[in-house]
Structure 1
Amino acid sequence: MKTTDQTSTLAEIHQALVKAQAAFDQNNRDDLEECLMTAGFALCRLLPDELVESSPDIWFA
C-alpha cells in the first residue's frame, strides 16, 4: 500500500512528465531537460535505501 508521501511523489513525477511531453512537442530543450531532471530526481527518492547508492549521482548533487 502506498503512503501519502509516495502518492505525492508519484503525482509530482506524473506532472513533470506531462510538462516534459509539452516541452518536447514545442521543441523546448531547456524545459524538457528541467522536467526530466525533476522526474528523475523524484523517482530516485522512491528507491529503497539499498538501491540509492547505485542511482546516478547527478540526482543528489
Structure 2
Amino acid sequence: ENDFWLIYAHDAYDDNYLLLTVMGPNAHSRAEWGSFLRTVHNEVVTPWIVGKIAYPDLDDY
C-alpha cells in the first residue's frame, strides 16, 4: 500500500512556501527514499529558492 509524505520548502527571502508530496510504498523510509529526497532538494527546491525555477501558484487557477 502506498504511503505519502508532505514536505514544505520555505523561501525566507520572498516568504513563499513550496509543498511537495512524496507518494509510494514506505514513503517515510529514509533508507528507501533518501537518495530521491536529496535529488528533489538539489534539482527542485534549491533552484526554486535561488530564483532559477518558478512554479505557478495554485491559487491562480
| Fold in common (TM above 0.5) | no
Higher strand share: 2
Q: TM-score, normalised by structure 2?
A: 0.32
Higher helix share: 1
